[in-house]
Structure 1
């Protein structure tokens, strides 16, 4: 499989901030841990957090390159959680990457991803689409495979014209091939992150997030809110920042980087200012 390197672009606010939401080939990104560290150094970021879905494996791979380039590598993860029928992702920053309970949960979630993938492949077959699971796994040997990888495969093999059509017809939340994820509750995910020495944050808050729901997350120990990210205009960012202040949540920002082919989502294109990073560090109990 050919691999594209992340192209550096100017950071929206400051070059001396941190991109706190980045994915690599260890989950559903297209660039290696080393690639994203080098991209962060190129645009002058002071810090970077790789927050792969339900895995901590990229941290050890990226750490030597981060040390070589003088980039602070903040241990991170994006945990899959459930709030009733709604899937919710919870970011963890400044965690202990060797925490046994967090690792056990991440391993269980990855195992569930494999089972879920097989079930979605079976459902796609019922829709007349064929996925060679072995070929798919060879293409992404380190990834936690999910819907994105299935969509890539179906487009690459010419069975569906575009990724948008894959999700519109088959793998969207209400699609015939969709299989829901299983995972801890939001409160359990937050507690896991806190027990691992980290600080829990809510990424890409949904448009219909109610203040009552956010208050329940805050009561469970949520300490940060992503106020700036891809597709977030200045007006919405100011609104999320005001909400973060109201709930005493640290405002954070990141690109949610996955691949270098999405305008405005290159590593470092959106960054957490240094002052907010310091507040996050303090919430995690680090000097």
Structure 2
């Protein structure tokens, strides 16, 4: 059994990279993939510990993007998993990631200034204490609730930080096509994360999106996920096979933040991902040489 989608304190998980490795060993997982949001730091921090404990650690990342469609509105919150970006000659990919983080930080500072201009006493340090390395609007909302400026997260978005609210500042998320290009240029595999969530189980729309993303170089889809029912997994597996896409899978473990999701086994033991999934991915990755300068 493997798990190729887990988060650590390097992004929005509550377990340290070392804790995740130790739990993987305790559970006797055949492999575990750290796929933190917009950073490889969790994987890098866990490498030595995994080697010492004999845990097969897979390099992953989950990149927040938006899919631009001709003749249709953009599809927001498209999460792209990138695998095997831990080899040499990945400098261009790391530079691209730094640009994404810098833009996130710019947006957060701008929102703090807007909130302060509205008379709300908030600081960037307070927000980052809640959000860590991937501070975003949910952490702003939580802070506004804690300080008594609003009574709920929904009110925070409606009055202050929603897209039409006075303290909103846009974040320039990369397009999905750009992220696919960057992952592939770095020698990695690009996999669409939790596709059923993305389309709210509208599999007709998913087929359209996959048609477009496949033309842009998408390598695979996350068939096995804690939120996917057995029926959805079967349907997604058929879609992947019919399109010649690779199959991936993972729990999307976040530690205490998603207490019902267990490492390796998902929700109520709905996952049992075979090692063959990783072997197929690795076989494909061996034929993917980095193309970045």
Match of residue 71 from structure 2: none
User: Which residue, out of 172, 179, 191, partners 1:189?
Assistant: 179
Q: Displacement of 1:160 after TM fit?
A: 4.5
Q: Displacement of 1:158 after TM fit?
A: 4.8
Task: Give the CA RMSD over aligned residues.
Answer: 2.7
| 2:213 match: secondary structure | helix
How many residue pairs match? The answer is: 270
Does 227-236 or 102-111 show the bigger shift? 227-236
Structure 1: state its 5+ residue gaps: 1-15
Q: What is the CA deviation profile of residues 110-129 of structure 1, one whole-angstrom value per residue up to 9, with x for unaligned ones?
A: 00000111233344456765
Taking the aligned partners of 1:244 and 1:203, their CA distance within structure 2 comes to 13
Q: Displacement of 1:105 after TM fit?
A: 0.7
Structure 2: state its 5+ residue gaps: 69-73, 289-293
Q: What is the CA deviation profile of residues 211-262 of structure 1, one whole-angstrom value per residue up to 9, with x for unaligned ones?
A: 1221121122211111222322212221111111111112221122223242
| 2:37 match: secondary structure | coil
Q: Which residues of 2 match residues 142-181 of structure 1 at below 5 A?
A: 143-161=133-151, 163=153, 166=156, 171=161, 177-181=167-171
Q: Say if 1:240 and 1:169 are closer, same or farther in 2 by CA, change over 3 A.
A: farther
| 1:89 match: secondary structure | strand
Q: Does 1:225 align with 2:221?
A: yes
| 2:64 match: secondary structure | strand
Q: What is the CA deviation profile of residues 26-53 of structure 1, one whole-angstrom value per residue up to 9, with x for unaligned ones?
A: 2222221112112222222111111111
Q: Say if 1:149 and 1:266 are closer, same or farther in 2 by CA, change over 3 A.
A: farther
Q: Say if 1:181 and 1:70 are closer, same or farther in 2 by CA, change over 3 A.
A: same
Match of residue 240 from structure 1: 236
Match of residue 61 from structure 1: 45
Residue 102 of structure 1 contacts residue 193 of structure 1 at CA under 8 Å; is this kept in 2?
Answer: yes
User: Which residue, out of 56, 69, 82, partners 1:72?
Assistant: 56
Q: Say if 1:64 and 1:218 are closer, same or farther in 2 by CA, change over 3 A.
A: same
Q: Say if 1:189 and 1:70 are closer, same or farther in 2 by CA, change over 3 A.
A: same
Q: Displacement of 1:95 after TM fit?
A: 1.4
TM-score (norm 1): 0.82
Q: Say if 1:28 and 1:40 are closer, same or farther in 2 by CA, change over 3 A.
A: same
User: Which residue, out of 31, 42, 45, partners 2:29?
Assistant: 45
Taking the aligned partners of 2:135 and 2:277, their CA distance within structure 1 comes to 33
Q: Does 1:256 align with 2:252?
A: yes
Taking the aligned partners of 1:240 and 1:253, their CA distance within structure 2 comes to 11
Q: Displacement of 1:185 after TM fit?
A: 2.3
| 2:101 match: secondary structure | helix
Taking the aligned partners of 2:156 and 2:30, their CA distance within structure 1 comes to 38
Greater RCO structure (CA 8 Å; 6+ sep): 1
| 2:66 match: secondary structure | strand
Instruction: Tell which structure's C-alpha radius of gyration is larger.
Output: 2
